[in-house]
A and B are shown apart, each in its own frame.
Chain A
Amino acid sequence: MQPFSTHTGMVLPLDRVNVDTDQMVPKQFLKAQTRQGFGRVLFYDWRYLPGEKPNPEFILNWPRYKGASVMLARANFGCGSSREHAPWAVADYGFRVLIAPSYADIFYNNCFKNGILPVTLPEAQIDELFRRAEAQEGYSLTADLPNQTVSDSTGLKYKFEIDPFRKHVLLEGLDDIGLTLKYAANIDAFEQARHPGATMYEAVDAKYFPKH
């Protein structure tokens, strides 16, 4: 995974609460077999008119936000489906930092698997960032993970909280599976110590075995 330390980028203010992952990547794009190329379909139904013409009303298509890499969002961002296609699309489009008052659990967790930093700030600070991003063209923020701050060029600086372990994994770009496999002995021991009935029963009735 791509490590994350600090990132400075233009802010795109997406002023909607409860943005769900169905909107980030609609179902017709869930039939892919790779993780790549989802940036093109991020917010597909909001972003495109029939014939894939960019919808000029949707903020992602506004020229002034071209090249944005920090997304400012509202509460409960990423609710709904567990589809990891959502963070794949967010990252593939070029966003490396999300800033919101709250996230849905599965989406939040999925961000860390994809090198995206989801910053959580109180509502009042989010409101202030929305004001600035909307007022000033090209408004940029710097997210500094080691120091846990978000700052702009005028001296505004907000501190954010993040779980120390998640921070460490993101800073180092560690592979979760590799981390867990270091504890293979613990997993072996756990399996051996269990009640034999606790894990697996064979299908009792042979007719329930599938054909293949």
Chain B
Amino acid sequence: MTPRTMYRKIWESHLVREAPGEPSLIYIDRHLVHEGTSPQAFAGLKAAGRKVRRPDLAFAVMDHSVPTKNRNLPILDAAANGQFEALERNCREYGITLFDMFSHNQGIVHVIGPELGITQPGQTIVCGDSHTSTHGAFGTLAFGIGTSEVEHVLATQCLSQYESKTMHIVVNGKRGKGVSAKDIILAIIGKIGIAGGTSHVVEYSGEAIRGLSMDGRMTVCNMSIEGGARAGMIAPDDTTFAYMEGRPYVPRGKEFQEAVGRWKALATDPGAKFDATVELNANDLAPQVTWGTNPGMVSGVTGRVPDPASFRDPDDQKAVARALEYMGLKPGTAVVDIPVDRVFIGSCTNSRLNDLRAAARVVAGKHVSKNLKGALVVPGSMSIKAKAEAEGLDKIFIDAGFEWRDAGCSMCIAMNPDVLPPGERAASTSNRNFEGRQGKDSRTHLVSPIMAAAAAIEGHFVDIREWNVEAPE
């Protein structure tokens, strides 16, 4: 048999119907739903008199607009509240499991899927959210869809899809001390560009990827979409199985062992062909900081803000000039000389327990800079929050001058009250530095959790390697 990629294996095992000249119908194993992109889908379903085919395969959560403090108080944002109520109504009406704002399992949709064991290797997973690519860290085919497709999956449990091209990104070598999964993926995007992965599904492999914990692998796969890729995936291995065992939706005992057997067979066969291959070495990788208005505008922390004239393509020159104007940065400024006003540690990229542990190690016994206007830690889920508190991390952060919040998307997208004010500059562990992403006229620098933590202490970026601290596993 011809050797197959993991993507191809999952694709083949989900084919419901194939016909020449038409997209294929593929079966969807898990449909994750949140309040932001689902109301119109449910409304469309209702208007057409259709039912939800498999409510047991859908899981809903409130995350995008939820407040991260004082949840017992009434929600003043009527539009957000309307979406919460709609989600609750729709889930009740169609029999879909919902983790609402008061559930102790509530959290960011891409954090709770893996955490509860809803995400399992070999599955197809979709969600009306581009960072669905996160779940690929378990060897799943997981990708974001629009609201019309959310409706399509609700009605049919299938999607009409063309097979994607495949890209193999191999990260060789070992990360140095202070270098995180976040730095690996930012460096990859810097290398391939934000459209480099367009129409491809990426598989990550290599020593540096294997060496990551599941938390780190999720960080990498999470930002696949920022490189333009449809999805990102990593073959499941013992790290994956150890993470999964005992989680609520994961089978137990003999069933688990049998499942592991099936999951092991998912790995790409030796000799399987990819449409493109990119190689990177982690050995000489520096911590990364974005300076512009997309995740590909990134540099090592020892670098400087570039001069637009140094780009060859006139479109790039214009884009960089515009980005620097928006960011209020001068060409030639050393990255470590960029001051920050606020720090945000959170989002589906970097809000898991290993991220919080590593950031806490950086700030323990220190205090945030007096120039800082605010520093926020927002755990990815209420369960991570509880575990962090059991380890005393909340106390470390609060003593250092951080606010410790309830779980949600928070300042990653600023749909709740956690907004970065106009003109202010944040060191953020999230995934998008687009204009206005964290608030109108706000300025975002994407970094790893330990880089963000150190920036909070110093009031500007620092090369965390000089602090001799461990990066998140």
Report A's interface with B, CB cutoff 8 A.
15-18, 20, 22-23, 26-28, 30-35, 45, 74-76, 79-84, 87, 102, 104-106, 109-110, 113-114, 163-165, 176-177, 179-181, 183-184, 186-187, 190-191, 195, 197-205, 208-212
Q: Which residue of B lies closest to A184 (CB)?
A: B156
Contact of B146 among A23, A82, A209 (CB under 8 A): A82
A34/B43 contact (C-beta < 8 A), A104-B228, A110-B148, A177-B151 known: yes
Mask: chain B, 392-414; 1 = CB below 8 Å from A; 0 = not: 00000000000000000000011
Contact of A106 among B100, B146, B259, B316 (CB under 8 A): B146
Interchain CB contact under 8 A, B294 and A18? yes
A105 to B434, CA, bound (A): 18
A210 to B103, CA, bound (A): 6
A192 to B139, CA, bound (A): 24
A31/B77 contact (C-beta < 8 A), A84-B146, A102-B198, A183-B25 known: yes
Interchain CB contact under 8 A, A165 and B23? yes
Contact of A17 among B80, B99, B315, B413 (CB under 8 A): B315
A31 to B119, CA, bound (A): 27
Interchain CB contact under 8 A, B105 and A208? yes
A84 to B21, CA, bound (A): 26
Interchain CB contact under 8 A, A176 and B152? yes
Interchain CB contact under 8 A, B248 and A45? no
Residue numbers in B under 8 Å from A22 (CB-CB): 432, 434-437
Residue numbers in A under 8 Å from B147 (CB-CB): 35, 84
**Given A23-B435, A106-B144, A197-B258: 10 more A-B contacts, CB < 8 Å:** A27-B413, A45-B435, A82-B144, A113-B146, A177-B50, A180-B25, A197-B259, A199-B57, A201-B250, A203-B116
Q: How far is the CB of B143 from chain A (nearest CB, A)?
A: 8
A212 to B158, CA, bound (A): 27
Q: Taking each of A102, A181, A197, A199, which has the highest tally of chain B beta carbons within 10 Å of its own beta carbon?
A: A199
Residue numbers in B under 8 Å from A17 (CB-CB): 315-316, 318-319
| 24 intermolecular pairs with C-beta atoms under 8 Å apart | A15-B318, A16-B322, A18-B194, A23-B436, A28-B415, A31-B80, A31-B83, A45-B436, A75-B195, A76-B194, A76-B228, A82-B128, A84-B37, A104-B198, A104-B228, A163-B162, A180-B156, A184-B156, A191-B27, A198-B29, A201-B249, A204-B251, A204-B252, A211-B102
Residue numbers in B under 8 Å from A211 (CB-CB): 100, 102-103
Q: Taking each of B105, B130, B225, B437, which has the highest tally of chain A beta carbons within 10 Å of its own beta carbon?
A: B130
B255 lies within 8 A of chain A by Cβ: yes
B39 lies within 8 A of chain A by Cβ: yes
A12 to B138, CA, bound (A): 44
Residue numbers in B under 8 Å from A32 (CB-CB): 39, 79
Interchain CB contact under 8 A, B228 and A105? yes
For chain B, the count of residues having a C-beta within 8 Å of the partner chain is: 87
A27/B37 contact (C-beta < 8 A), A114-B148, A210-B99 known: no
Residue numbers in B under 8 Å from A203 (CB-CB): 116, 248-249
Q: Taking each of A84, A105, A106, A110, which has the highest tally of chain B beta carbons within 10 Å of its own beta carbon?
A: A105
Interchain CB contact under 8 A, A187 and B129? no
B98 lies within 8 A of chain A by Cβ: yes
Interchain CB contact under 8 A, B146 and A110? yes
Residue numbers in A under 8 Å from B351 (CB-CB): none
Q: How far is the CB of B106 from chain A (nearest CB, A)?
A: 9
Residue numbers in B under 8 Å from A114 (CB-CB): 148
Q: Which residue of A lies closest to B85 (CB)?
A: A33
Residue numbers in A under 8 Å from B86 (CB-CB): 33
B199 lies within 8 A of chain A by Cβ: yes
Q: Which residue of A lies closest to B164 (CB)?
A: A105
